[in-house]
Amino acid sequence: MPRRSILSDSFGPLEVQVLEAVWAENGPATVRAIHDAFPQLAYTTLMTTLDRLHRKGVLERAKVGRAFAYAACLSRHEMELRLASRSIEGILGGYGRTALTPLLSCFVNAVSDRDRHLLDDLEEILRAKRAALRGDEL
């Protein structure tokens, strides 16, 4: 089974491919600049997808001559973090502390079953977060 990404959970397959192409440009990208990466697509389909991503707030655009140049508002890593945070906030939002204990236990079990080093990483993250909340310096 292919591994799903947080991007594919939030955007359609073509939108993810277009975002990847924009990130690969390392700067503002026009439809013409990335169209070669999508030989099966009509120019107008690519233009519509870029516009849709712009309307969703994922891409910013600026007029360059008669065309628009698009740039991602966030890096791929920043986008994944933001989407993950929103997902977690959605899960945590409606539950009290007692109801979340089983969820946290399941999470810790899943992390430790997958990779024991991740459990060490999680412990370090928790330690750093507690220190930050107390105002301590690490």
Q: Give me 59's structure tokens.
A: 């891409």
Task: Note the pLDDT tens digit of each residue in 2-19.
Answer: 445 777 778 899 999 999
**DSSP states of 1-30:** -PPP-HHHHHS-HHHHHHHHHHHHHTS-B-
**pTM metric for this prediction:** 0.70
Residues 59, 73: contact at Cβ < 8 Å? Answer: yes
Residues 7, 23: contact at Cβ < 8 Å? Answer: no
Decide yes or no: CATH 1.10.10.10 for domain 6-72.
Answer: yes
Task: Note the pLDDT tens digit of each residue in 120-134.
Answer: 888 899 999 999 998
Task: Note the pLDDT tens digit of each residue in 18-29.
Answer: 999 999 998 899
Which residue ranges make up each domain of the chain? 6-72, 95-138
Task: Note the pLDDT tens digit of each residue in 58-113.
Answer: 999 999 999 999 999 999 899 988 888 888 877 777 666 677 778 788 888 888 87
CA dist 32 and 99 (Å) reads 52
